Amino acid sequence: MISYASGVSAAPLLGDTIGANLDRTVAAFADRDALVERATGRRWTYDQLADDVEAVALGLHGLGVAKGDRVGIWAPNCAEWTLVQYATAKLGAILVTINPAYRVHELEFVLNQAGIRTLVAAAAFKTSDYTAMIDEVRPRCAALSDVVVIGSEGWDALLRTGRAADRGVLDEIGAGLGADDPINIQYTSGTTGFPKGATLSHHNILNNGYFVGELCGYDEEDRVCVPVPFYHCFGMVMGNLAATSHGACVVIPAPAFDPKATLEAVAAERCTSLYGVPTMFIAVLNEPSLDGLDLSSLRTGIMAGSPCPVEVMKQVIERLGMGEVTICYGMTETSPVSTQTRAGDSLDRRVSTVGTVHPHLEVKVVDPATGVTVPRGTPGELCTRGYSVMLGYWDEPERTAEVIDAARWMHTGDLAVMDGEGYVNITGRIKDMVIRGGENVYPREIEEFLYTHPDIVDAQVIGVPDEKYGEELMAWVRLRDGAAELTAEALREFCRGRLAHFKIPRYVHVVDDFPMTVTGKVRKVQMRAEAIDILGLGDAAAVRHA
């Protein structure tokens, strides 16, 4: 039997736009809770959510935002983020989600590459002064015409404009929108240099969110705690869209992940579902307040974004009471989920695989060299096809063609094995992308930055095993003759404020030469193996993952 599987479902694909789908949910569940923001105590029923979404949409329309225009959102998790997500969908504008950890050069790249016309941003978050960074890059961003700062007079004016406008305008706009229109650009680390903008349609992300919710058994009684970031598909698709397509409620525990706030939100709001990458669940399980809280409402949830340690999964089931918890696997380019474990799967399946193919999708495992589908039980590259595959990388057809073949198969770059029943196990990656705590990091971007250090003549960045984050970054560097010793702390200091925190190497190893192949290519596989010995990471490397 070959390593191919297609997902069947009694539920058909949704054919409507995100705005139309929200309207149907509002009509059915107008008085039910839709959104709760714990940090401010604000709450919305579906009727109230629809009212504010339409106000934001009409306010943006008043600024001249039209179908196809790019609107950036740069903020931590907050209610306004969700309002902008659905408001742009109502207009047919393309929401560009920007990582809150980005620094100046990353922000400038995204603003220009996507041609962002309007940017909605928080004023600041943690150590990031967003307004100062926006002011710095704005003269170099020709397309950017409007910046609206959340919580400022500009945001209030946007709402006033929208509330005074004719709501019939949105009906006219909606009539001209199609489910296959692009609606979202998410930047993901690519195969070379800077990130690429995965461009997703209403059809892509609405259906993926809907079927994630279906496999979690969601209905209007569910309350989904979403501590994962909205700027990822995990938050805005598997969180927001999974909930609103089923009439469920989204609970935002805090602007950024906080284990205590997350647990308190679950207890206070009687959440039935909890999301997280493994790092988050580890923090929650180690939170001192855990045993004193009533978490009996929890039923299900999702662990994804990074390989899931088996022991952590078992504790989530036993200590948090999440008996129906699932593991999802996917990538931004596939909206994101391609496989998911089911509530009815055995414990062994749920802690040792990433499940089976999603409804209405296809997956196969191929020989990376020949493209031929391999027999079950044989490792190869995982490919996926169907409604979830992105439209392409924004304005980069050549890079799109590198990953989506002529038959519309998305080549993930991940090594996988499919067993006789169709369950998939991810065994590694063909490319050397690093996944640190759910963040995709491409080493070349960091390597190119490290070349700007006055003492570094060459740099190679690899991922090494880490019990907390799954992987951590390690920089192997060659120094110029006569350079002083370079410590890990000194290198981190050089990177601070210039690279997002998750891109800063934790470890530094100074070498005279890198291990090379006979054809002159750096052997990162060998470097990783040596690093495990150098750093004493044998225990971390031995942690089992699904």
Domain ranges of the chain: 361-386+397-431, 434-541
Q: How far is CA 321 from CA 119, 314, 341, in A?
A: 41, 10, 17
Backbone angles phi, psi at 461, to 5 degrees: -115, 130
Q: How far is CA 357 from CA 86, 287, 330, 367, 421, in A?
A: 28, 34, 10, 19, 11
Residue 248 near residue 216 (C-beta atoms within 8 A) = no
Find where tokens 């095993």 sit: 465
Torsion of CA 278, 284, 287, 293, to 10 degrees: -160
Instruction: Measure the CA–CA gap between 384 and 339, rounded to whole angstroms.
Output: 10
Instruction: Measure the CA–CA gap between 229 and 256, rounded to whole angstroms.
Output: 7
- pLDDT bin (cut points 50, 70, 90) of residue 448 is confident
H helix or E strand, kind and range, residue 514: none
Helices (H), 30-129: 46-62, 79-91, 104-114
Residue 95 near residue 183 (C-beta atoms within 8 A) = yes
Q: How far is CA 516 from CA 480, 520, 523, 525, 529, in A?
A: 20, 6, 5, 10, 14
Read off the pLDDT of residues 207-227 as tens digits, 9 standing for 90 and up: 999 999 999 999 999 999 999
Instruction: Measure the CA–CA gap between 385 and 188, rounded to whole angstroms.
Output: 19
478 Cβ contact list (under 8 Å, min separation 6): 456, 457, 458, 459, 510, 511, 512, 513, 514
The pLDDT of residue 321 is above 50:
yes
Q: Could you please state the CATH topology (level 3) that the domain comprising 361-386+397-431 is classified under.
A: Luciferase; domain 3 (2.30.38)
Instruction: Measure the CA–CA gap between 325 and 350, rounded to whole angstroms.
Output: 8
Q: Within 10 A of 379 (CB to CB), how many other CB atoms are there?
A: 17
The pLDDT of residue 192 is above 50:
no
The β-bridge partners of 329 are: 339
Kind of pairing between the strands at 42-45 and 337-340: unpaired
Q: Within 10 A of 115 (CB to CB), how many other CB atoms are there?
A: 17
Per-chain mean pLDDT for the chain: 93
Q: If 0-12 CB within 10 Å is exposed, 13-18 middle and 19+ buried, where does residue 197 land?
A: buried
* The pair of three-digit structure tokens given for residue 457, joined into one six-digit string: 């003549």
- The arithmetic mean of pLDDT across residues 373-388, rounded, is 96
Q: Is 338 helix (H, G, I), strand (E, B) or coil?
A: strand
H helix or E strand, kind and range, residue 503: none
Segments of 269-309 assigned E as strands: 273-276, 300-303
Instruction: Measure the CA–CA gap between 230 and 255, rounded to whole angstroms.
Output: 10
H helix or E strand, kind and range, residue 147: strand 146-149
Read off the pLDDT of residues 451-483 as tens digits, 9 standing for 90 and up: 889 999 888 999 999 989 999 999 999 898 888
The pLDDT of residue 546 is above 70:
no
Instruction: Measure the CA–CA gap between 247 and 24, rounded to whole angstroms.
Output: 9
336-351: burial string, b at 16+ Cβ within 10 Å, e else: bbbbbbeeebeeebbb
- Say yes or no: do domains 361-386+397-431 and 434-541 share a fold: no
Residue 281 CA to chain centroid, in angstroms? 16
156 Cβ contact list (under 8 Å, min separation 6): none
Output the pLDDT for position 22. Answer: 98
Sheet holding 70-74, edge to edge: 146-149, 116-121, 70-74, 94-97, 182-188, 196-201, 392-393
- Tell me, what DSSP letter sits at residue 522? B
Q: Within 10 A of 519 (CB to CB), how many other CB atoms are there?
A: 5
Residue 358 near residue 214 (C-beta atoms within 8 A) = no
Lowest-confidence segment of 133-147, 149-163, 522-536 by average pLDDT: 522-536
Output the pLDDT for position 191. Answer: 36
The β-bridge partners of 363 are: 5, 384
Lowest-confidence segment of 66-70, 118-122, 486-490 by average pLDDT: 486-490
* The pair of three-digit structure tokens given for residue 231, joined into one six-digit string: 């700027």
Cis peptide before 336 (omega within 30 of 0): yes
CATH number of 434-541: 3.30.300.30
Residue 385 near residue 407 (C-beta atoms within 8 A) = yes
Torsion of CA 483, 485, 486, 489, to 10 degrees: -150
Read off the pLDDT of residues 270-316 as tens digits, 9 standing for 90 and up: 999 999 988 899 899 999 999 999 999 999 999 997 767 777 888 99
The pLDDT of residue 193 is above 70:
no
H helix or E strand, kind and range, residue 527: helix 524-535
- pLDDT bin (cut points 50, 70, 90) of residue 203 is very high
Output the pLDDT for position 545. Answer: 67
Q: How far is CA 528 from CA 473, 506, 538, in A?
A: 11, 14, 12
Higher-confidence residue of 106 and 545: namely: 106
Closest among 14, 72, 67 to 241, alpha carbons compared: 14
